[in-house]
Structure 1
Amino acid sequence: MDAWFKEAAQGKDPHKRINVVDSPRPLRVEVNGVEVANTTKPRLLFEGSIPPRIYIPKDDCHMEFLKSTELTTHCPYKGNANYYTVQLPSGDKFDNIVWWYGEPSTSDAAGIKGYVSFYDTKVDLYLDGALQARP
């Protein structure tokens, strides 16, 4: 085999720890029926044997609903993560369900700088217009 492919992009060797690839598939994220993100430029982060995480450009998020929190966590492969709470116009709050890496700590993770990820167990993801089952 000469190359690895994930989605429509050529990926790196899957035996490396982190692999970020562009996806051509449209993605919409809703929380309680309210659209909080809509993109045609998602990136998938593959990390070892865990399920891939979808990252969305901040420019494609409704940032007015995302409120910074004090929570930070650390990943040895991606660096320090910061979090957002989603606060809807209805007043409903969903604490720390969005994270992002301001300065990824490895070159392998550099592709997610400026992107956010939502906990897919706490939001509705519509990929290619179809609601995805929550893990």
Structure 2
Amino acid sequence: MAKPPERGRKRVRAVVEGRVVVDTLAPVLVWEWPFYPTYHLPVADVDLDGLPDGAIRRLTLEVEGEPVDVVRIDWDAMDQWFEEDEPVAVHARDPYVRIDALASSRHVEVAVDGVVIADSTHPTVLFETRLPPRFYLPLPDVRLDLLRPSDTVSHCPYKGTATYWSVELPDGTRHPDLFWTYRAPLPESQKVAGLAAVWTEKVDLRLDGVAQTRPRTHFEVPGT
């Protein structure tokens, strides 16, 4: 069952072509899909004349028992969004998502088509709401000779900007974008800086010698 709209508690601003066109202390969070909210902004806090054509939709929502006239703005139509004074990318942050990055001594083995790509007893495990644990490994514990830089880049509002490696096996088989790294993560994810994360949905993973079932997630692209 979809969550009802609710009032956000952050100051939200948006800028386009150097102009602040949204500045509100009363954003409305609307879960148009289950995984993260969309900001709907009170009409009074939006400069409608400064918005690109076709980028907005006006509607009335019932929020906590009261009708509220709001504007929904296409996220990508803005040059930059801010929550308080910090820029936010991709989408509004979900207030119910938590990230914990914990040092661990679990034995992590990663294999692709029977070839061991990583073997570490010093992972950092990143726990993120509604996602399987992600294992971030020290680079010396990864077969860097089998990694090939990728042009893929992704963005996360909780972790920052990730760059990717593909895996090229000794027989020449290439598996695209199996590992990624956050070289300069956001402050709440600093513990994973410079570590290599693995896309566990696409590899064979053993934890403490026990083979793991590949998780299934709602993400169909890398960067989770």
TM-score of the alignment, normalized to the shorter chain, above 0.5: yes
Gap regions ≥5 residues in structure 2: 1-95, 216-224
1:133 equivalent to 2:224? Answer no
The answer on 1:82 being equivalent to 2:163 is yes
CA distance in 2, matches of 1:86, 1:47: 25
- SS of alignment partner, residue 176 of structure 2: strand
Q: Secondary structure of the residue that 2:202 maps to in structure 1? A: coil
**Aligned-partner Cα distance in 1 for 2:206–2:214:** 11
Gaps of 5+ in 1: 1-14
TM-score normalised by the chain length of structure 1 = 0.84
User: What SS class does the counterpart of residue 105 from structure 2 fall into?
Assistant: coil
Distance 2:167 2:97 in 1: 33
Distance 1:73 1:57 in 2: 21
The number of residue pairs the alignment matches comes to 120
For 1:38 and 1:24, the matched residues in 2 are separated by 12
**Match of residue 148, structure 2, among 67, 80, 89:** 67
Give distance in 1, aligned partners of 2:130 and 2:108.
23
**Structure-2 change in CA distance of 1:121 and 1:103 (3 Å):** same
Structure number with larger C-alpha Rg: 2
State the Cα distance separating 1:77 from its structure 2 match. 1.1
Partner of 1:11 in structure 2? none
One-letter amino acid of the structure 1 residue matched with residue 201 of structure 2? T
Distance, in Å, in 1 between the alignment partners of 2:112 and 2:132 is: 21
Query: Distance in 1 between the 2:166 and 2:97 partners?
Result: 32
Deviation at 1:50, TM superposition (A): 2.0
Identity %: 39
Query: In the alignment, which of 160, 169, 174 is matched to residue 93 of structure 1?
Result: 174
Looking at structure 2, the residues matched to 47 and 132 of structure 1 have their Cα atoms a distance apart, in angstroms, of 19
Whole-Å separation in 2 of the counterparts to 1:121 and 1:46: 15
SS at match of 1:55: strand
Give the aligned partner of residue 119 of structure 2: 38
Cα separation, 2, equivalents of 1:16 and 1:109:
13
